[in-house]
A and B are shown apart, each in its own frame.
Chain A
Amino acid sequence: MRYFSQVLTVTRWEFSRFFKPKNEALGIVIMLAISIVGYFGGKYAFSDTEQKMELSVVNHSDTTLSNFLSSRYIVKEVPKDEKADFLELIRNQKEGILLESGSEGFVVNAYKNTRAISKLKADLTDYQKQRELNKIGLSQIELAAVLSPAQVQESFIYSDNSAKRVVLSYFFAGLMVMVVFLCFAYQFTAITGEKQLKITEQIVSAISPQVWMDGKIYGITLTGLSSMLTYAIMSILGGMLFFQFTGLPVSSIFDYLYLPSILIYLPFALIGILIWNAILAAIASIITDPNNSAKSSLMMLPIVFVVTSFLVIRDPDSGLALFLSWFPLTSATSMPIRWAITEVDIWQLAGSFILLVLTFYLLRKLAAKIFRVSILITGKEPSFSEVFRLSKQA
């Protein structure tokens, strides 16, 4: 009972130290402000003007081109002998586009490359396409029929209806990675900071290294999850706003929130986060000075395994995918993705999860042992072999 109450006290302490609602709210406000400015600014910057653009064309005999361009531009004819003067005018005034049509194609003259040039090139491509279609006597509808894919009706014995399941599994994989990275910063501050402030000895004289380690893992995991939850809620609200703007129904979001899938993915993600927190805590326990320790780079380890776990997408039924969905450092993301895109027996799902839980149980014990032998080593940072040797003795 004392173990639980002490772990709870340490968990609460770590959570309250690092989860600051005021800072989270400020972060959200700043993020919202940047998003709004970005959205409307971008929309304004890339919006197509209603007004027709002015286009100067060197006199030519192709009336089809003139008619085509007139429907999209304010076309001004420039006599051939005035071409050189007009080009000089473009150079001086730094604006204007002069189009010249020839047997080899088109020549576009402008002061510099702009979006208007891209639009003109696209329009000229349209024109050429139409001209070539007319030559062979093909209409636009007939062309679409030629280019359309074959109509194939699919019928499978195993129907997983997985599209939304996959999206949700990616969401949880992404959530796990983001939480682990948030926790990475907190673990560093919490553990190496406490060592540098010389608080550790005071703490471990009151509680066992296991209580200390468990409290840190749970408290910081909770902090990371709370931050993520805040951002997830904000994303959903943002998504709802997006759907509102685009005219799509808000309920589109809820289509993806399929409860049975959430009940499977969430425990995998949660234990995965706890496992990585235990590993990060063990590494941080060995580090004396985070600014000068080569071991700090080990904190990037989770990204390697998470990226590897995504290999299951290529062939979810391969031996590699099977291994990744059972191996505890990848299974938290691999198994839910595999379950989403292929047929996975329920016993596999359960077995992989039990292995994941067992791994966490053992890793937190190992982390506490490493912490116990590392705290009293002062001065030089211990090497992995020293920690291993001392852990065996402890």
Chain B
Amino acid sequence: MVEQIKKTVLKVNSISKDFMNVKAVNAISFSVEQGDIYAFLGPNGAGKTTTLRMLLDIIKPDSGSIEWNLNNKPNQVPDAEDIGYLPEERGLYLDVPILNSLVYLATIRGMEKADAKKSALDWLEKLGLADRAKEKLQVLSKGNQQKIQFVASILHKPAFAILDEPFSGLDPLNQELFIGFIKEINNQGTTILLSAHQMSLVEKIANKLFLINNGQEVYNGSLPGIYQSFGDKIIIELQLETPFSEASFQNLKDIESIDKIDDFRVKITFNLQTNLAKVLHDLAKIEGICDITSHKPDLHDIFLQLLKKK
């Protein structure tokens, strides 16, 4: 089967940014293709938000370049109508009717007022908030306010949406709802670049990943690719009756790493080639193990593993 060649809509070439003496972003490069759901993953303070702000020209990189090509318009800064942005620091006009706020934010991004109003009402209908369109935002619950903020960022149907920590502060039910929204707008043609630290959620929607830590690239590639490259492991998690002591595990063979999760839980990583029967035999000799589970490494495990390698 011949894979369709996708158009690159964003190309980032070795951008860096320093704040005083801190290197917030250190020569990172990546590119996003049309239709991608590209996830920017890393712990708090890794440099995700700084990178996103540079993409939007809110702050300028100290070095490197950014090339956009949305709707066949190559430029360094994307046009407002082509881009949607959900900032990490969320906020909307609390004292203004919801519909007015949504229409205003869509019109400054170039949407016609009538279209913006129609689109806003459609989204409010979808969220079950149509009857509250003329109410002020401050009367809505926090969860509903977050939904409105999300809608405000994508109402104008942008070619590219940047969502900074879209799942932050959401309960599990709303996290699933947002995953649905993101998939929906992606299916309608919007390329997504999102940043997050909840790796389990990102695994459900992203097709490409950029792992970042301390401003540096840890991994850049596809989601299946990261499993192919770094997922050839077996992880066994043990629940202990007594506090973990490394000495108890000294005799285990073919171990790649032992990581203490907490005082009563430990995670042991083996290569795929390891003889599991022998491992289980050896584990049986260790006293105080009350539970054993095994699984293939998830994104979180791989991320930690890559950090160790770095």
A: residues with CB less than 8 A from B are 2, 6, 9-10, 13, 17, 197-199, 201-207, 376, 378, 394
Partner-contacting stretch, out of B65-73, B85-93, B206-214, B274-282: B85-93
At the interface, yes or no: B108 with Cβ under 8 Å from chain A? yes
Contact B108 A10 (CB under 8 A): yes
Task: Determine whether the beta carbon of B94 is less than 8 Å from that of A376.
Answer: no
A199 pairs with B96, CB closer than 8 A = no
Interface of B, secondary structure class, is loop
Which 6 A-B pairs rank lowest in CB-CB distance, beginning with the nearest?
A198-B91, A205-B85, A201-B87, A197-B91, A206-B80, A198-B89
CB distance from A223 to the nearest CB of B (A): 15
B80 touches A376 (CB 8 A): no
| Known contacts A202-B85, A202-B152, A205-B85; is-contact A9 B104 (Cβ 8 Å) | yes
Indicate if the CB atoms of B58 and A202 lie closer than 8 Å.
Answer: no
Q: Check B59 against A206 for contact (C-beta < 8 Å).
A: no
Question: Number of B residues contacting the other chain (C-beta, 8 Å)?
Answer: 24
- 25 residue pairs A–B, Cβ–Cβ below 8 Å: A2-B110, A9-B104, A9-B108, A10-B108, A197-B93, A197-B94, A198-B87, A199-B92, A199-B93, A201-B53, A201-B58, A202-B87, A202-B92, A202-B105, A203-B108, A204-B58, A205-B83, A205-B85, A205-B87, A206-B80, A206-B83, A206-B108, A376-B53, A376-B58, A376-B59
| Chain A residues with CB below 8 A from B80, complex form | 6, 205-207
Residues of A within 8 A of B108 (CB): 6, 9-10, 203, 206-207
- Judge if B56 is at the interface, Cβ distance under 8 Å: yes
Closest Cβ–Cβ distance, residue A205 to chain B (whole Å): 4
Interface of B with A (CB < 8 Å)?
Answer: 53, 56, 58-60, 80, 83, 85, 87, 89-94, 96, 104-105, 107-110, 152-153
Q: Is the CB of B96 within 8 A of A17?
A: yes
The closest CB in chain A to the CB of B83 belongs to A205
CA distance A376 to B60 in the complex (A): 12
Contact B109 A206 (CB under 8 A): yes
- How far is B56's CA from A206's CA once the two chains are assembled, in angstroms? 9
Cα of A347 to Cα of B21 in the assembled complex, Å: 54
Q: Chain A nearest CB: distance from B103 CB in Å?
A: 10
Given known contacts A201-B89, A202-B85, A376-B58, what 20 new A-B pairs fall within 8 Å (CB)? A2-B110, A6-B80, A6-B108, A197-B92, A198-B87, A199-B91, A201-B58, A201-B87, A202-B152, A202-B153, A204-B58, A205-B56, A205-B58, A205-B80, A205-B83, A205-B85, A206-B83, A206-B85, A206-B105, A207-B80
Residues of A within 8 A of B87 (CB): 198, 201-202, 205
